[in-house]
Amino acid sequence: MSRIRTPLSEELGLEVPLFAFSKAPAVVAAVSRAGGMGVLGAVAYTVDQLREALDFIDAHVDGKPYGVDVVMPAKYVDGGAGHDAPLDPDKLEAMISPRHRAFIDELLARHEVPPLPPGADAWHNLLAWTEQTTRPQVDLALSRPIKLLANALGPPPRDIVDRAHAKGIKVAALTGAAAHARKHIENGVDIIVAQGTEAGGHCGEISTMVLVPEIVDAVGDVPVLAAGGIGCGRQVAAALALGAQGAWTGSIWLTAAESDVEPLLKQKLLRASSRDTVRSRALTGKPARQLKTGWSEAWDDPAGPGALPMPLQFMLTADATTRIHRFAGQPGTRAHELLTSPVGQIVGRMNHERPVAEIMSELVRELEDSIRRMTAAL
């Protein structure tokens, strides 16, 4: 694989300026081995699970650089505890209305989704959607040989930025607005990920094509990565042309052979078109682009109770989400109609399950062809 250089990729020791967000350790390691930077999405992991995932990456990344992405939202409901105090799950649970609980029960009953069997565990209903629950993840991540710590919802707290810098680790933050990017820099963030509305997961309302040059112009010499709707080499070339120093990708790895996405959901993603996503609060309480299913349609229905703010929405739905994933595809239930995933509009290009190495090779080849074509046009 030839080397495509930007100042940021050179500084991080990458062969190609491509960053790959994934919750699958095998995808992260494979992207880094192929010359990009795999970034592990940690939000769904307990600390013990995260330790196992990082052990796997360290053993399979061949010494190449990788990163960790956490979620430390600047704003969320804390039950009056304050961001520096321990959360009281009972107080948070008491903030969920009976109407919302009845809505969940009716939705699952309508789709014939059984309860979990005795002894089966649901997803941890707080996960790492708060600063308090994420700090132990950060402590673990900073003990590993990572090269990048990214925060998916705003800048991480300044003390964490300082700790990362003390270890020589770059800090990145995702944003959907130039004004927010400036605040991230004031907080010590090294890299701005300009994420357009086409992106999977949490995103704003501005398209990538408009957002990236706005943020590049707003932040001066601070490196910017373009994110949102990027899944081929031509789009990476476009990101560079807009002034970004690389591309941040996520959705395209959901259907990679090494992905840990369950087969039924992977098939839904492979069949979906670019029109089959929706920006909804149905998953976490904050706007996030996801596969359009009966789940998002129910929560977005004006006749319903509406989604709760973070982290209450996930606390409310953790048991339901576990049941949907467990029973989807089994006879006697319509759970598959509710089965969903964060995914961006690039899903329309994700039509084949392929190994990470093949996806990376095609991305780089198309990126090189695009650069040659643009150079020849001068």
d(CA 92, CA 130): 12
Provide the token pair at 242.
């807009």
**Given this model, what pLDDT does residue 238 score?**
97
Q: Please give the domain boundaries of the chain with CATH numbers for all domains.
A: 7-77+127-255+352-376 (3.20.20.70), 89-124+260-337 (no CATH)
- Flag whether pLDDT at 170 surpasses 90: yes
Give the contacts of 355 (CB within 8 A, at least 6 positions apart): 30, 256, 257, 258
**Given this model, what pLDDT does residue 120 score?**
75
**Given this model, what pLDDT does residue 123 score?**
61
- Flag whether pLDDT at 142 surpasses 90: yes
Spell out where 176-253 has E strands.
Answer: 191-195, 201-202, 224-227, 247-249
> Tokens 């190994």 — which residue?
355
**Given this model, what pLDDT does residue 30 score?**
98
Render pLDDT for 69-108 as a digit per residue (tens, 0 to 9).
998 877 777 655 555 666 777 888 889 999 999 999 999 9
When pLDDT is averaged across residues 295-322 and rounded to a whole number, the result is 93
- Pairing mode of beta strands 201-202, 288-291: antiparallel
d(CA 324, CA 321): 5
Provide the token pair at 84.
């520096």
**Given this model, what pLDDT does residue 2 score?**
63
Residue 117 burial (CB count, 10 A): 7
**Given this model, what pLDDT does residue 225 score?**
98
84-93, 135-144, 357-366 — which is least confidently predicted? 84-93
User: By C-alpha distance, which of 304, 171, 277, 278 is closest to 225?
Assistant: 171
**Given this model, what pLDDT does residue 15 score?**
96
When pLDDT is averaged across residues 268-295 and rounded to a whole number, the result is 96
When pLDDT is averaged across residues 200-220 and rounded to a whole number, the result is 96
When pLDDT is averaged across residues 323-351 and rounded to a whole number, the result is 96
Provide the token pair at 148.
């990048």
Q: What average pLDDT does the structure give for the chain?
A: 93
Question: 170 by DSSP, 3-state: which?
Answer: strand
d(CA 135, CA 44): 14
Say which DSSP state 44 is in. T
d(CA 61, CA 68): 14
Q: Do residues 264 and 329 make contact, with C-beta atoms less than 8 angstroms apart?
A: yes
When pLDDT is averaged across residues 155-184 and rounded to a whole number, the result is 95
- At residue 126 the predicted structure's pLDDT band, cuts being 50, 70 and 90, is low
When pLDDT is averaged across residues 107-113 and rounded to a whole number, the result is 97
When pLDDT is averaged across residues 209-236 and rounded to a whole number, the result is 97
Q: Percent of the chain at pLDDT above 70?
A: 95
Residue 85 burial (CB count, 10 A): 11
Beta pairing partners, 249: 20
Render pLDDT for 59-74 as a digit per residue (tens, 0 to 9).
999 999 999 999 887 7
Rounded to two decimals, what is the model's pTM?
A: 0.94
